[in-house]
A and B are shown apart, each in its own frame.
Chain A
Amino acid sequence: MNIQNIKNLLKTYFIENWKTDLFQFGMLMVIVLFGTIMSSRGNLNFPIFVASIFLMIYPERLFRNLHGNSSKIHYLSIPASNSEKVLANLVLANVYYVVGLIVSCCLGLGLAQLYITLRGFESLHFYTALNGVGVMLLCVLLAMFFFGSIYFRRKTTLATLGVSLLIGTIIITLYALTLWINGIILIPKDAVYNDYMWSYSSYVIPDAVQMIVLGLVTVFFYALSFLRMKETEA
Chain B
Amino acid sequence: MKKYTNKVLLGTLILIAAIFVIGGTVDVQTAWHSGKIRKFGVFPNDNQQEETYVPETSTGADTTASDKMKNKDVNF
Contacts and interface: CB of A to CB of B under 8 A. Distances in A.
A44 B24 CA distance: 36
Contact of B27 (A174, A179, A220): A179
Contacts of B32: 186-187
A178 interface: yes
Interface in A46-91: none
B3 interface: yes
Contact of B5 (A186, A190, A224): A224
A171 B31 contact: no
A12 interface: no
B20 A191 contact: no
Interface residues of A, number: 28
Given A224-B9, A228-B5, A231-B1, A191 B38 contact: yes
A196 B31 contact: yes
Interface string B11-25: 011001100110111
B17 A171 contact: yes
B40 A190 contact: yes
B44 to A, nearest CB: 14
Contacts of A224: 5, 8-9
Interface residues of B, number: 27
A227 interface: yes
A197 to B, nearest CB: 9
A3 interface: no
Contacts of B47: none
A195 interface: yes
A190 B46 CA distance: 12
A193 B16 contact: no
A129 interface: no
B36 interface: yes
A75 B41 CA distance: 72
A154 interface: no
Contact of A175 (B1, B20, B29, B41): B20
Given A171-B16, A174-B17, A196-B31, A186 B37 contact: yes
Given A171-B20, A227-B8, A195 B36 contact: yes
Given A178-B20, A186-B37, 7 more contacts: A178-B25, A182-B25, A188-B39, A190-B39, A227-B4, A230-B1, A231-B4
26 contacts: A171-B16, A175-B20, A175-B24, A178-B21, A178-B25, A182-B29, A186-B29, A186-B32, A186-B37, A187-B37, A190-B39, A190-B41, A192-B38, A192-B39, A192-B40, A193-B37, A195-B38, A196-B31, A196-B37, A198-B36, A224-B5, A224-B8, A224-B9, A227-B8, A230-B1, A231-B5
Closest 6 CB pairs of A and B: A178-B24, A234-B1, A182-B28, A190-B40, A175-B20, A199-B36
Interface of A: 151, 167, 170-171, 174-175, 178-179, 182-183, 186-188, 190-193, 195-196, 198-199, 220, 224, 227-228, 230-231, 234
